[in-house]
């Protein structure tokens, strides 16, 4: 089968990894992408390591622009005419919109789109959000199969946003190259507990909540005990912010305002996954919205316990009380309570880490991802033979 894969950009994160691994897994696949914004981490190096040379459309960028988006649409359509694919598989919102419109105009290929998350919460105002929902509903009419990366995300798109009937959806969870992380030993006890949060520094990731938590944990540990109560055990904690993005300056100023500069380190983007997680004792996530939380999968593969807001597909990954803790969005006090439990209890951290590793090691393998995707491609082609002329 001849496949054309389209993603807006290869910025650091699950969608880019997924697109690269699937391109590698189906030899002969053509990959289209735009350019990564200067404030984002670039994963073009991963494509190069796999021997993949993407077709770059510079107008297929992050920001919305009628001029650039129109130019990108026609360039995509021209490439489709040249490649003559059996399947056009799009990833992420902008690539999904432009790629599928171009595919509809072409009219001779199967259209498949993967929702790695959605932009219907935590990204835009009410008017824009309603507009994007209706665009997705329209495109769904012409899309042969819609993939989501979790059951929770599928349920949300079907029941809450009514993008398309359930029969049009398939769930294929992400896959990763986890071998190095699966071999990672527990971090040696240095006396200080390192808590890390990994991801883009953008509003939807809600880093300010994590920083408020860090401030309160420090305050609680520094309080004088009330008469007749047991003193709070003081455990030194350091917080590591791994990633970069548009909010970095604002977050650095927020750290100064909170008076926790001595406890927080901004690491920027780190390519080596092993180097990230071998430094951490606990991995946190405070997002407002998530498709599949890649950092939590990586942390669990590395045997690290996690604590996260219970949003989107997070509950499909984390088993509350077994591999980590889930806290309802907005419940900062509960987040602090559960984080303190993990900080003070190294045996619980070890147990949660082992459980997490067992959960993800086979479920999120690269081999499983490719196998499931191949099965879906074959089934979709068989069901739509009349489109192949």
pLDDT the model gives residue 254:
98
Tell me the β-bridge partners of 268. 242, 243
Q: Residue ranges per domain, the chain? A: 3-175+365-387, 179-360
Q: Residue 149 and residue 115: Cα distance in Å, rounded?
A: 7
Please, what are the averages of pLDDT over each run of 10 residues along the chain (389 residues)? 95 90 96 86 91 95 84 98 97 95 97 88 78 93 95 91 96 94 90 94 94 94 59 81 93 97 94 93 94 91 97 91 96 96 95 96 94 96 68
Look at residue 188 and give its three-state secondary structure: coil
CB atoms within 10 A of CB 167: 7
pLDDT the model gives residue 240:
97
**DSSP string spanning 254-272?**
HHHHHT-GGGEEEEE--S-
CATH superfamily of 179-360: Glycogen Phosphorylase B; (3.40.50.2000)
pLDDT the model gives residue 238:
96
Q: Looking at domain 3-175+365-387, which of 3.40.50.2000, 3.40.50.720, 3.40.50.9100, 3.30.70.20 is its CATH number?
A: 3.40.50.2000
Tell me the β-bridge partners of 7. 33, 91
Look at residue 370 and give its three-state secondary structure: helix
Q: Do 179-360 and 3-175+365-387 have the same topology in CATH?
A: yes
Q: Residue 373 and residue 47: Cα distance in Å, rounded?
A: 19
pLDDT the model gives residue 226:
58
Q: What Cα–Cα distance (Å) separates residue 331 from each residue in 51, 320, 353?
A: 46, 15, 24
pLDDT the model gives residue 228:
52
- Residue 202, token pair as written in the block: 């953008």
């Amino acid at each position: 089968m001849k496949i054309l894969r389209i993603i807006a950009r290869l910025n650091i994160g699950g969608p880019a990894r997924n697109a690269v691994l699937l391109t590698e897994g189906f030899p002969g696949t053509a990959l289209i992408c735009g350019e990564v914004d200067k404030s984002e981490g670039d994963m073009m190096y991963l494509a190069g390591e796999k021997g993949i040379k993407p077709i770059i459309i510079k107008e297929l960028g992050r920001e919305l622009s009628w001029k650039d988006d129109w130019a990108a649409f026609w360039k995509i359509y021209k490439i489709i005419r040249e490649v003559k694919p059996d399947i056009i598989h799009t990833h992420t919102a902008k690539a999904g919109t432009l790629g599928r419109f171009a595919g509809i105009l072409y009219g001779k290929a199967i259209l498949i789109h993967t929702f790695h998350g959605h932009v219907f919460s935590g990204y835009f105002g009410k008017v824009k959000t309603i507009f994007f929902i209706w665009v997705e509903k329209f495109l769904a009419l012409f899309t042969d199969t819609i993939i989501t990366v979790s059951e929770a995300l599928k349920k949300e798109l079907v029941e809450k946003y009514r993008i398309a009937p359930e029969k049009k959806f398939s769930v294929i969870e992400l896959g990763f190259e986890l071998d190095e992380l699966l071999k990672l030993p527990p971090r040696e006890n240095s006396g200080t507990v390192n808590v890390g949060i990994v991801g883009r520094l953008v509003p939807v990731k809600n880093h300010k909540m994590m920083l408020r938590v860090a401030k309160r944990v420090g305050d609680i540990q520094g309080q004088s005990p009330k008469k007749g109560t047991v003193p709070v055990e003081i455990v030194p904690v350091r917080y590591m912010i791994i990633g970069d993005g548009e909010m970095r300056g604002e977050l650095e100023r927020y750290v100064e305002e909170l008076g926790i500069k001595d406890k927080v380190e901004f690491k920027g983007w780190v390519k080596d996954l092993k180097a990230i997680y071998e430094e951490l004792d606990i991995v946190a996530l405070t997002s407002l919205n998530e498709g599949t939380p890649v950092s939590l999968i990586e942390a669990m593969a590395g045997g690290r316990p996690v604590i996260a807001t219970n949003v989107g597909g997070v509950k499909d990954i984390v088993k509350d009380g077994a591999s980590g803790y889930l806290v309802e969005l907005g419940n900062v006090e509960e987040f602090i309570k559960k984080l303190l439990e993990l900080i003070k209890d190294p045996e619980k951290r070890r147990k949660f880490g082992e459980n997490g590793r067992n959960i993800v090691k086979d479920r999120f393998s690269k081999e499983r991802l490719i196998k499931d995707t191949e099965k879906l491609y074959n089934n979709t082609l068989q069901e739509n033979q009349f489109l192949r002329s």
